[in-house]
Homo-oligomer: A and B are copies of this chain.
Amino acid sequence: MFASNCFQKKETVVAHILDDLKKEVESANEIAVERMMQSAPFWTDINLAKRLIPNMKDAMLLHAGPPVEWKDMSGPLRGAIIGACLYESWAKTKEEAERLASSGEIEFDSCHNHQSVGPMAGVISPSMPVYEVTDTKYGAKSFSNLNEGLGKVLRYGAFDQETIQKLNWMKGTMMPVLSQALRDLKKERGGLDFKSLIAQAITMGDECHNRYNATTALFVRELAPYLVKCDFDKEEVAQTLRFIRDNNFTTLNLGMASAKAMTMAAHGIKYSTIVTTMARNGTETGIRVSGLGDSWFTARAPSVSGVYFPGFGREDANPDIGDSAITETAGFGGFAMAAAPAIISWVGARSASVATEMTQRMYQITFAEHRYFSIPSLDFRGTPTGIDIRKVVKTGITPNINTGIAHKQAGVGQIGAGLVVLPMDLFKKALRAFASRYLN
């Protein structure tokens, strides 16, 4: 009955879903969002991707966003793929890497199909170190790569020698150092309670997508007593601590893996209209919905409105890319902007009131207010949590995401940061599928 023309009758469809299935949907969403909030992600391991990530194969590269083939990949994603081939020693030059990538010998897959997430290009290769996060409430595991900091980095599509050297240092030094500290911390506390860190950081000016200053400082505060007791060469431990000190984004990837665990807990609830994935591969943006299994609903990746580094402008920018919108999916990041007025200049907003308005607007499209993430300046109101595709379509308001901006060409890197609004089409497609599935 809701055939191809159903969105000529958008209100009718929404009304149907709201009316006929209201009870089922409401109670499914109640369960989904409750699970999202009760999920308790702890950082529990760090090791090579091939040792931790489920179904990671020897000749496989994971990437951000919905699945995409080499021929359709945007510049920064191609750049990161090239870099990963060089890092894995599968190729010696850019050209060799491109030939390999287009040959079909490497399997590409979405991080999300492997319980994983990666910022920007989000490329994870078998020999890259990844964090493992365990949902100590519901048991699921999620994964993310390590953050390389700012400058020329793989996640923004850079693949020069400096980029690869840093990745090698992360594997050879940072990973084993963090691993040993975590091992000892885990003995005492079962892992690092990352949900608690996010909750604290949201009272400390982080929104935990584009600003992780407090989270990273708290991370060091928690880890330092274990790091000093490492058996490693002291200079290697100090190197690791200096790298973290100089990179406030260190904890972004752990925040994203935590958000992935939270949203996985909310996924697969029959009748639920709650969004459990939002991700972009630089070509397309895709979402998944709790009650709609593993289907992706996709649309062309939008452009980002923001501020550019000197010498770059809108014409250099790649469309929106990265898995980091998982933070907004879990009720923080751009949705917690009111907690992070210090970020406004970074994303190009003109006044702190913009931050508050962004959060206020997101309450209109979410199902709940977070039990654990609360915003001091809003009198500790919980962050808007659990995007409801019904509300998005009904209000015409789509989620606001904070993000970085990558150059559209492979090899250049980050050129700015800003805000992006996801296309309405994603949510219409999802609602249409929901109608097909549950109203027939």
Contacts and interface: CB of A to CB of B under 8 A. Distances in A.
Contact of A220 (B200, B217, B342): B217
A189 interface: no
A245 B228 contact: no
A242 B225 contact: yes
A102 B344 CA distance: 58
Contact of A224 (B235, B241, B351): B241
Contact of A245 (B221, B235, B237): B221
B204 A341 contact: no
Contacts of A227: 224, 228
A244 B221 contact: yes
A204 B206 CA distance: 7
A413 to B, nearest CB: 25
A216 B225 contact: no
A205 interface: yes
A238 B242 contact: no
Interface stretch (A132-140, A153-161, A376-384): A376-384
A283 interface: no
Interface string A190-217: 0000000000100111100000011011
Contacts of A91: none
A352 interface: yes
A213 B230 CA distance: 26
A11 interface: no
A228 B200 CA distance: 26
Nearest to A220: B221
Chain A contact residues: helix, strand, loop or mixed: helix
Contact of A222 (B205, B229, B245): B245
Interface residues of A, number: 40
A99 interface: no
A234 B228 contact: yes
A229 B221 contact: no
A218 interface: yes
Contacts of A213: 200, 204
A345 B221 CA distance: 24
Interface string A347-358: 000011000000
Contact of A204 (B204, B224, B226, B238): B204
Task: Name the residue among A204, A218, A379 with the largest chain B CB count within 10 angstroms.
Answer: A204
Contacts of A216: 221
Contacts of A238: 225-226, 228-229
Interface in A385-439: none
A283 to B, nearest CB: 35
Task: Name the residue among A218, A237, A378 with the largest chain B CB count within 10 angstroms.
Answer: A218
B203 A228 contact: no
Contacts of A225: 238, 241-242, 245
Contacts of A205: 203-205, 214, 376
B204 A228 contact: no
Interface of A: 200, 203-206, 213-214, 216-218, 220-222, 224-230, 234-235, 237-238, 241-242, 244-245, 340-342, 344-345, 351-352, 376-380
18 contacts: A204-B206, A204-B342, A214-B217, A217-B220, A217-B221, A221-B244, A224-B224, A224-B227, A224-B245, A225-B241, A225-B242, A228-B241, A344-B376, A345-B380, A351-B379, A352-B378, A352-B379, A352-B380
Those 7 A-B pairs whose CB atoms lie nearest each other, nearest first = A217-B217, A341-B376, A342-B376, A225-B241, A203-B342, A204-B205, A341-B377
Given A225-B238, A352-B377, 4 more contacts: A203-B205, A203-B342, A217-B220, A220-B220
